[in-house]
Amino acid sequence: MKKRKLKKKLIIFLFILLILGIGGVTIYFTKDLFWPDNKPTQTGTEKTAAEILEEQGIKLVNKETFVKEANTLLDKGYSSEEINQIYEHMSENNLKEILKSPYQNLENYFTISNFEFAKLDRYNAYQALLNISYQDAVTKVNLNLDEPFYQTVNEISNPNEVTVLVNKSHALPSDFIPDDLVAIPSFPNYQIKDDAVSDFEALLAAAKLENVNFSPYSTYRSYDKQNKLYNNYLKRDPVDVVDSYSARPGHSEHQTGLALDVRSAGYLDDLSDSDYEWMLNNSYKYGFIVRYPKGHSETTGYQEEPWHLRYIGIEHATKVHELGITYDEYYDLYLTEH
Ligand SMILES: [Zn+2]
């Protein structure tokens, strides 16, 4: 009798277990039907981190690594406002550098488009030395004007481009010869790049209509020719004087086939004042600029050269003319990635 009771209890117990088991399994497999938003906690944590940033006045940026980066910047000591400015203005290159480096005060540089974080100390030093604007300091340091000329020299990688920048810190390879040199139809003894020929003929024709008569007397020059020229000048003048009027080999625009020295009728190697005036006001319409104009020696590193024209195409020549800046500055401001 006792045994039977026990057996009955056991059966009831097992039966309850079975019901609970079936119930549990059913609930487990149908839970998404009843609680469809039952998501894991991972996203919830991320959302909170972003919300914390937002509460501190940081504008969220739609970028996978933003929360991590913003927190890194906060840890370095950047304020919410500084972080907003960094994301609004700074290039991806600069952001990478900023994330790798200790805190720096960047308030004077946020809106300067050609700013490069790696040069910050040089900008600050040059700005303080010359008491110039921060924008000027950035452009001039980018052109290495805070160093002696020829101290930093980068080899040019795009020598056949019409916009190529050649100056005392950008050198052409010694074996570079333009790939499309052609004779100028009106002056068949002189060669320039094919890109510049028709616009040069148009410049000549437009000038002639206004009684401005000039002709080229030096156009494409090879590296070897420039080398001989420069070394001949050294026999006559000290190096710093020669450097003020002649390019060292590899640093001459004449090697690109895009530069022409022109002279007025009756002149040996110069433009008359009136012809120069016409050139300053009109050559850009045909894609040419006076590359070394008056008052810009400190930037170009050369004395004024009224006779030296450089082809950069109509669009860029027009902008350089409108801005009234040297091509060196223009190239850094508008044609260089920072
Ligand atoms: Zn020249």
Q: Which of 196, 240, 246, 234 is nearest to 216 (CA)?
A: 196
Q: Which of 163, 197, 204 is nearest to 320 (CA)?
A: 163
Amino acid identity, position 8: K
Per-residue pLDDT of 245-289, as tens digits, reads 999 999 999 999 999 999 999 999 999 999 999 999 999 999 999
Strand, helix or coil for residue 263: strand
CA of 34 to the centre of ligand 1 (A): 83
CA of 261 to the centre of ligand 1 (A): 5
Contact 109, 134 (CB under 8 A): yes
What angle (nearest 5°) sits at the alpha carbon of residue 202, between those of residues 160 and 274? 105
Secondary element (H or E) of residue 241? helix 239-245
| pLDDT exceeds 70 at position 127 | yes
Strand, helix or coil for residue 255: helix
Give the gyration radius of the chain's Cα atoms. 35
CA of 151 to the centre of ligand 1 (A): 22
CA of 156 to the centre of ligand 1 (A): 19
Q: Which of 214, 212, 184 is nearest to 196 (CA)?
A: 184
CA of 146 to the centre of ligand 1 (A): 25
CA of 55 to the centre of ligand 1 (A): 60
| pLDDT exceeds 80 at position 41 | no
CA of 83 to the centre of ligand 1 (A): 47
Provide mean pLDDT across the span 1-6: 62
CA of 297 to the centre of ligand 1 (A): 15
**What's the full length of the chain, in residues?**
338
Q: What pLDDT is attached to residue 48? A: 81
Q: What pLDDT is attached to residue 9? A: 77
CA of 254 to the centre of ligand 1 (A): 6
| pLDDT exceeds 60 at position 44 | no
What angle (nearest 5°) sits at the alpha carbon of residue 230, between those of residues 153 and 263? 110
CA of 294 to the centre of ligand 1 (A): 15
CA of 262 to the centre of ligand 1 (A): 8
CA of 305 to the centre of ligand 1 (A): 8
Q: How many CB atoms lie within 10 A of CB 236?
A: 8
CA of 145 to the centre of ligand 1 (A): 21
Q: What pLDDT is attached to residue 20? A: 72
Amino acid identity, position 268: L
Provide mean pLDDT across the span 107-129: 97
In degrees and rounded to multiples of 5, residue 245 shows phi and psi of -130, -10
Q: Mean pLDDT across the chain, nearest whole number? A: 92
Per-residue pLDDT of 181-228, as tens digits, reads 999 999 999 999 999 999 999 999 999 999 999 999 999 999 999 999
CA of 202 to the centre of ligand 1 (A): 20
Contact 99, 72 (CB under 8 A): yes
CA of 284 to the centre of ligand 1 (A): 17
CA of 175 to the centre of ligand 1 (A): 20
| pLDDT exceeds 80 at position 6 | no
Sign of the Cα pseudo-torsion (319, 320, 321, 324, in order):
positive
Q: What pLDDT is attached to residue 285? A: 98
| pLDDT exceeds 80 at position 331 | yes
| pLDDT exceeds 60 at position 36 | no
CA of 166 to the centre of ligand 1 (A): 12
CA of 334 to the centre of ligand 1 (A): 24
Q: What pLDDT is attached to residue 237? A: 98
The CATH 3.30.1380.10 portion of the chain extends over: 154-334
CA of 114 to the centre of ligand 1 (A): 29
Strand, helix or coil for residue 5: helix
- How far CA 278 is from CA of 206, 209, 272, 305, 306, in Å, comes to 11, 12, 10, 15, 11
d(CA 218, CA 239): 23
Provide mean pLDDT across the span 152-170: 97
Q: Which of 133, 164, 138 is nearest to 256 (CA)?
A: 164
d(CA 219, CA 262): 9
- How far CA 329 is from CA of 112, 135, 175, 193, 276, in Å, comes to 14, 11, 27, 24, 22
Neighbours of ion ligand 1 (CB under 5 A): 261, 308
Class of domain 154-334: alpha beta
Structure letter (DSSP) for residue 59: P
Per-residue pLDDT of 50-98, as tens digits, reads 999 999 999 999 999 999 999 999 999 999 999 999 999 999 999 999 9
Q: What pLDDT is attached to residue 280? A: 97
CA of 221 to the centre of ligand 1 (A): 10
- For residue 116, give both structure tokens: 């490069």
Q: Could you tell me which residues are beta bridge partners of residue 192?
A: 182
Q: Which of 140, 187, 146, 197 is nearest to 311 (CA)?
A: 197
Q: Is the entire prediction scored with pTM above 0.85?
A: no
pLDDT tier at 8, thresholds 50, 70, 90: confident
d(CA 279, CA 33): 80
Strand, helix or coil for residue 191: strand
